[in-house]
Amino acid sequence: MKGAEQFAPEQMVGGPTAEAAYRRPNGDAPRDAGDPLCLPPGISSKRFKEFLCRLADISGDDHVTAITKMEELSQESYLDPSKCHDMFHVFNKEDFVSSAVVAPRNVGEVQAIMRLCNEFEIPVWPFSIGRNVGYGGASPRVSGSLGMDMGRNMNKILKVDVDGAYALVEPGVTYFDLHDYLVNNNLRDKLWIDVPDLGGGSVLGNTTERGVGYTPYGDHYMMHCGMEIVLPNGELVRTGMGALPNPNADPNAPAHEQEPNSCWQLFNYGFGPYNDGSFTQSSLGVITKMGVWLMANPGGYQSYLITLPRDDDLHQAIEIIRPLRVAMVLQNVPTLRHILMDAACMGDRASYSNSANPLNDEELDAIAEKLNLGRWNFYGALYGPQPVRDVLWSVVKGAFSQIKGAKFFFPEDQPDNLVLQTRHDTLQGIPSVTELKWVDWLPNGAHLFFSPIAKVSGDDAVGQYQLTRRRCEEAGLDFIGTFVVGMREMHHIVCLVFNRKDKESCRKAHWVISTLIQDAAERGWGEYRTHIALMDQIAQTYNFNNNAQMKLNETIKNALDPKGILAPGKNGIWPQTYDAKAWAIPRPKR
């Protein structure tokens, strides 16, 4: 099979493939004046110009931008995110860059763009806002792809149904937008949203990537209901109950404008195979609308912090957390955060230490003492009327009191604790951008997330902590991480902060994440999501029964997208029109 024949991870280490296709997708083709920094693979300058004209016919000149100059890769901040390159690049800035960006104004234009990309055989990479920083942002896996900015013009909250407790949103609706809508319409006393750590990303994009938040509705994919999707051939699909027409809809209107079935956002599964999951972390469709369940205001709320004094408390804490979480005594998605995760929100590295080495245990203890925090800090919340909260708190407090030296705080006990005050908002669905701060731990701070799934068990948590901390230290980095406790597992999020303007720092960050992926797979641990540069490597670790899952994914990909135009390489799935081996990104040498 040409597309995605499997190759052993060691084949990806450094060496002969170091000048792989991903760096020079169009080989040595000469560039004409006015050409983009990177043409799509196999496309001549002349053909690309023709393509841009046709694109402008669809979406209008104002909504098509060719990326022709290095200065267009100047954005560096989450607050003003790039729409065409990876702001947190571990390689060169121009390694994952779009040839042009189009911002469709409606679903009909998305359909027309897909057809045009098929005609020209040009890859297209959809994104909603591009604030998926740490995982690649808006940048495409295949340089020279057309970026499709779904959020710029398609950013309406189409519906908020109070009785049904749901919203229907377009791709550009951010967590801030949805929250503001509830506040401005006096609906917060009825409905809450769930937000991730940073609220500037889109509800739809975060859910598509299976991101998490921290209220009882923290599993975003679990709480979505119904999608509208443009397939690679331009066809429009509504999933679940959306496939059943509304008898009152105008059958002569374009499909995307037809009034949907009134149960579309109420029942996920409809009839027959349930397809939604196939469109998450996937290259099978462009999502144009999505339903999201909102949480009923619980009628009372209390957030809290429990500080645990010793590094070794991790094991016991996780053993305490598991039964409480499984029984839903812990009602939300709580987090157990390493001291540096909190410290980094309150100051950069230089404000704590001038040591060139990773901070040692004595230094970490000193930081914890200075900040009145533990080596591990547990942030949770209680939801419901006072009597309910009182009972739950007595159980939670009783359980954590088994840990010697554990201390218990409500936000009013530590008014100056920025993290506690921020978690107080986040855990009730109020968005913020405060936690951006930890990225500034190092000068020119950028980050990659290493995000393995862990059993909620003391042994697994300690095993992952020791492994990731050791590898970080070998690379000269400080360990910064958090355990995010889901319904039955933990997302262990390790924040690999590096200096994006220092090549050696970038190289080390790439080395450490790539090494950790390998280490983790050898222990049966896999990641839930990753940066575009690591997608191939992680996909190769999910290889049960001779890569049966990858073969299934490729079969579906090739059937729905025979020319391989939609997000080739996304999550390690290469269409038959690409040579996966040539496109693989080599693992860095030590």
Neighbours of 395 (CB within 10 A): 13
Catalytic pick among 349, 389, 529, 587: 529
Q: Choose, by CB under 6 A, the member of 129, 333, 403, 427 that binds ligand ADP.
A: 129
Please tell me the distance from the alpha carbon of residue 290 to that of residue 227, in angstroms, as a whole number: 4
Binding mask 139-168 for ligand ADP (x = CB under 6 A): -----------x------------------
Give the residue with the Cβ less far from ligand ADP, 131 or 224: 131
- Residue 274 known to be catalytic: no
The secondary element (H helix, E strand) that includes residue 55 is helix 45-59
Phi and psi at 521, nearest 5°, equal: -60, -35
Applying CB under 6 A, which part among 16-24, 122-130, 394-402, 432-440 lies near ligand ADP? 122-130
- How many residues of this chain interact with ligand ADP, rule: CB under 6 A? 21
Beta carbon of residue 298, minimum distance to ligand ADP (angstroms, whole number): 26
Give the residue with the Cβ less far from ligand ADP, 512 or 532: 532
Catalytic pick among 22, 78, 135, 166: 135
Applying CB under 6 A, which part among 116-124, 131-139, 318-326, 582-590 lies near ligand ADP? 131-139
Give the residue with the Cβ less far from ligand ADP, 298 or 568: 568
DSSP-assigned states of every residue in 199-230: TTSBHHHHHHTT-B-SSTT-BTTTTEEEEEEE
What are residue 566's DSSP bridge partners? 124
Give the residue with the Cβ less far from ligand ADP, 208 or 422: 208
- Residue 309 binds ligand ADP (CB under 6 A): no
Q: Choose, by CB under 6 A, the member of 26, 128, 145, 468 that binds ligand ADP.
A: 128
DSSP-assigned states of every residue in 366-393: HHHHHHT--SEEEEEEEESSHHHHHHHH
The secondary element (H helix, E strand) that includes residue 118 is helix 107-120
**SS3 state at 509:** helix
**Both structure tokens of 260:** 């949907």
The secondary element (H helix, E strand) that includes residue 339 is helix 339-346
- Residue 359 binds ligand ADP (CB under 6 A): no
Give the residue with the Cβ less far from ligand ADP, 95 or 342: 95
Q: Choose, by CB under 6 A, the member of 40, 130, 144, 380 that binds ligand ADP.
A: 130
Residue whose token pair is 């804490």: 317
- Residue 23 known to be catalytic: no
Residue 488, classified by CB atoms within 10 Å of its CB into exposed (0-12), middle (13-18) or buried (19+), is exposed
Please tell me the distance from the alpha carbon of residue 251 to that of residue 147, in angstroms, as a whole number: 32
DSSP state of 29: P
Give the residue with the Cβ less far from ligand ADP, 205 or 588: 205
Residue whose token pair is 């993290």: 419
Quote the Cα angle for 105-109-114, to 5°.
135
Of 358, 415, 431, nearest to 198 (Cα)? 431
The secondary element (H helix, E strand) that includes residue 464 is helix 458-474
Applying CB under 6 A, which part among 132-140, 258-266, 332-340, 358-366 lies near ligand ADP? 132-140
Q: Name which of residues 176 to 235 contact ligand ADP (CB under 6 A).
A: 201-202, 204-206, 208-209
- Residue 22 known to be catalytic: no
- Residue 137 binds ligand ADP (CB under 6 A): yes
Give the residue with the Cβ less far from ligand ADP, 55 or 287: 287
State the amino acid at position 555 in one-letter form. Answer: T
- List interacting residues with ligand ADP (CB under 6 A): 126-132, 137-138, 150, 171, 201-202, 204-206, 208-209, 286-287, 570
**Catalytic site positions:** 135, 528-529
